[in-house]
Structure 1
Amino acid sequence: MNYKELLQQYTDLQAEIRDLEKRIKKLEAQVDRIEHDSVRGSHSEFPYTQRQFHIQGVNVKKQKRLKRLKKLLTKRKDTCEELKLQIEEFIDTIPDSRTRRVFQYRYIDGLSWLQIARKIGKHDESYPRKVIHDKYLEGIFDHNPKNPK
């Protein structure tokens, strides 16, 4: 995956992390839930009158499944947070302030190219995209062929 593809995932990663946190919280509420039910039975002695009994307990199989699912979701959330951190670190390594701001506005703040152009004092939306953004990414690949394309 190249830098551009990784950068474009930032807002999706943020949304996925929020979704995963909600799902994990919902699971945590279910794990310790005590289940209630009622069953019919009869006295053990004559006249064997039928009665209804209320029972409660923990569904162990369900608990194990929920714990496995929570572990899976937590692992996925950690992966998303790690990718988000890599993107933040990449943007932090950009030496030029204007270029760094363009990348932050685009990927972290999710602004359009026109909004970015206005924030940096330009009126042409292609300026931040072509002159700053694309040129910087091309320079990375020209100077460091080990980076994936």
Structure 2
Amino acid sequence: MDIEKLNQYRSTVKLIEKDKKRLEKWESYRPDAVFGKTKGSGSQFPYTERSFPVNGAYEFHGNKDYTKKIQDLKCKIQSSINKSFENKIEVEDFIESIENKSHKLVFIGLFLEGKTQEVVAKEVGYADRSNVSKIVGKYLPQK
């Protein structure tokens, strides 16, 4: 385990939530109609150029390129969710493996709850944040 993964834990959790919402959006997305405009001329002389609004039903299942792009996007989002979930599990597993209860509380406060070292030190009962830094340094490899 390294400090980077621990620091990214809360962002990872948020990313999972956002990716799930994006995935739900794309899974339920079905465009009803297409709107646009085209150019042409009037039917009578003088034939002056003008624009015409157009719209029509969208054949969602008939558009293979569009369907493939949506499917690729959904696969990428699902892959992101899976990778983020693996990172989340790894962090939580690491913290659960800490046997000392006060040390575990330090890691939970700092990395899972996002509290400052000062707040964690007070909650756990240490004199100052230097004790918290020492505990974190004890479990994480130095670069």
Corresponding residue SS for 2:98: coil
Q: Distance in 2 between matches of 1:96 and 1:116?
A: 15
Q: Map Cα deviations across residues 10-59 of structure 1 (whole Å, 9 max, x no partner).
A: 112112212212221221232x333345899xxxxxxxxxxx99641214
4+ residue runs of structure 1 moved beyond 3 angstroms?
A: 36-40, 52-55
Q: Distance in 2 between matches of 1:121 and 1:111?
A: 15
Q: In structure 2, what is the equivalent of residue 146 of structure 1?
A: none
Q: Distance in 2 between matches of 1:117 and 1:88?
A: 21
Are positions 1:126 and 2:124 aligned together?
no
Distance 1:55 1:7, change over 3 A: same
CA contact (8 A) 1:91 1:103 kept: yes
Task: Give the unaligned 5+ runs of structure 1.
Answer: 41-51, 142-148
CA contact (8 A) 2:33 2:55 kept: no
Give me the TM-score of the superposition, normalised by structure 2: 0.75
Aligned CA RMSD, in angstroms, stands at: 2.6
Q: In structure 1, what is the equivalent of residue 111 of structure 2?
A: 107
Identity fraction in percent? 25
Q: In structure 2, what is the equivalent of residue 64 of structure 1?
A: 68
Q: Count residues with an aligned counterpart.
A: 126
Q: Map Cα deviations across residues 55-101 of structure 1 (whole Å, 9 max, x no partner).
A: 41214322220111011110111110011001101111111111111
Q: In structure 2, what is the equivalent of residue 34 of structure 1?
A: 32
Q: In structure 1, what is the equivalent of residue 100 of structure 2?
A: 96
How far off its partner does 1:122 sit? 2.6
